[in-house]
Amino acid sequence: MAKDYYATLGVRRDASQEEIKKAYRRLARELHPDVNPDPATQERFKEITAAYEVLSDPQKRQMHDMGGDPFGGAGGGAGFGAGFPFSDIMDAFFGTASASRGPRSRARRGRNATIRVELDLAESGFGTTRELVVDTAILCEVCQGSGAAAGTHPDTCDMCHGRGEVSQVTRSFLGQVMTSRPCPQCGGFGSVIRHPCQECSGDGRVRTRRTIKVRIPAGVEDGTHIQLAGEGEVGPGGGPPGDLFLEIVERPHPTFERRGDDLHCTVSIPMTAAALGTSLTMETLDGPEQIDVRPGTQSGQVIPLYARGVQRLNETGRGDLLIHVNVETPLKLDPEQEELLRKLSQLRGEERPPGKFAPGQQGFFSRLKDAFNGR
């Protein structure tokens, strides 16, 4: 009598491969000989396994659907044993998605690459466009990635007959089972390239130098990585390209120190200007800017210029420019200046006893200092 394997697994005749696999796994867990050692259960286990072997193989399934016996008739139903794919049983119990069966593809994804891009502050702060020359691998035009010489194609491996794996029969708790390993002759590809493409020596890609134009967004900073998807090298065997990463290196600016989106700088003004107030012109990233210093500005005070820093990355708005004021005390006074300052200190009631460095005090240090200053 003809077996109905669909009934054995309890699936509909139009069940998908996934449904068949699920049904088998569920039953196999129930009926595993270690769980249910009685002979009837073992017999049932063999039946569902035979059913799975047929229905999971499109060719055998078709044969079954047409009323044929995929096991060749001899011994009727004695097909289980040697030749059963062990990995499917492992699947059933351990749920490991069995390594994709059959030959593996020669095509693999290309590697990622990183290149460093040096920018000055204006470029990183406001964005720029750069043409970059990269050494990379591109698809071989001659073989289109196949690796085989023009007019030829990879031959089916005669050791594994294109399966990419070779099988070995071993004994285990199920009796004889088959284990597989990658074919040593073709390396698991299932095919052998007998006449490699001369252009790429069979790799399917060639090395080249390529110029790419990239837009660097405003607000990147030292150490920022920019990912350019698919701009890395093409993979072997015509595989998809990896990504290209740009690593930003920011050159130090002579005036501004960048902290995040803010810029910092220091300006020195004379003591008198700090006391009386002044205005000065400063070269910013936006061009010359007038800065007003209030009368009475102290050394160390910060004058902010809002939104004169760098553009925020992926946001609107800009950081600030923060000007740190350094008040300079005069280094050398001529007699008239000294007199004026004394007068000022008298008027302000700020006279203090002269120290040993005061002019007119003939200590060792002041003599030394006078000599040094050419007085």
Give contact residues for Zn ion (rule: CB under 5 A).
140, 142-143, 157, 159-160, 183, 185-186, 197, 199-200
Nearer to Zn ion, 148 or 248 (CB): 148
DSSP codes joined into one string, 272-328: HHHHH-EEEEEEETTEEEEEEEPTTPPTT-EEEETT-SPBPTTSSSB--EEEEEEEE
Nearer to Zn ion, 54 or 197 (CB): 197
What is the spatial distance between Cα 329 and Cα 351, in angstroms, rounded to a whole number? 17
Q: Could you tell me the smallest distance in angstroms from the CB atom of residue 155 to Zn ion?
A: 10
* 9 within 8 A of 28, measured Cβ to Cβ: no
**Residue 80's CB: how many other CB atoms inside 10 A?**
20
Q: Could you tell me the smallest distance in angstroms from the CB atom of residue 238 to Zn ion?
A: 9
Q: Could you tell me the smallest distance in angstroms from the CB atom of residue 167 to Zn ion?
A: 12
Q: Could you tell me the smallest distance in angstroms from the CB atom of residue 192 to Zn ion?
A: 7
E strand residue ranges, 76-139: 113-119, 128-139
Helices (H), the chain: 5-9, 17-31, 39-55, 58-65, 86-94, 121-126, 271-276, 335-347, 364-372
Nearer to Zn ion, 51 or 186 (CB): 186
Q: Could you tell me the smallest distance in angstroms from the CB atom of residue 322 to Zn ion?
A: 58
Q: Distances in Å between the alpha carbon of 331 and those of 110, 269, 326, 362, 373?
A: 65, 13, 14, 18, 10
What is the spatial distance between Cα 147 and Cα 165, in angstroms, rounded to a whole number? 21
Q: Which residue in the block uniquely carries the two structure tokens 């697994």?
A: 9
Nearer to Zn ion, 104 or 264 (CB): 104
* 81 within 8 A of 175, measured Cβ to Cβ: yes
* 145 within 8 A of 107, measured Cβ to Cβ: yes
Nearer to Zn ion, 197 or 274 (CB): 197
Q: Could you tell me the smallest distance in angstroms from the CB atom of residue 53 to Zn ion?
A: 23
Nearer to Zn ion, 33 or 162 (CB): 162
Nearer to Zn ion, 20 or 160 (CB): 160
What is the spatial distance between Cα 296 and Cα 344, in angstroms, rounded to a whole number? 15
* 296 within 8 A of 274, measured Cβ to Cβ: yes
Q: Could you tell me the smallest distance in angstroms from the CB atom of residue 67 to Zn ion?
A: 35
Nearer to Zn ion, 185 or 337 (CB): 185
Q: Could you tell me the smallest distance in angstroms from the CB atom of residue 143 to Zn ion?
A: 3
Nearer to Zn ion, 103 or 219 (CB): 103
What is the spatial distance between Cα 288 and Cα 311, in angstroms, rounded to a whole number? 18
Task: Supply φ then ψ for residue 345, to 5 degrees.
Answer: -65, -35
Nearer to Zn ion, 210 or 367 (CB): 210
* Nearest in space to 247 (alpha carbons), one of 221, 212, 213: 221
Q: Could you tell me the smallest distance in angstroms from the CB atom of residue 164 to Zn ion?
A: 6
CA end-to-end distance (rounded Å), the chain: 126
Q: Could you tell me the smallest distance in angstroms from the CB atom of residue 117 to Zn ion?
A: 32
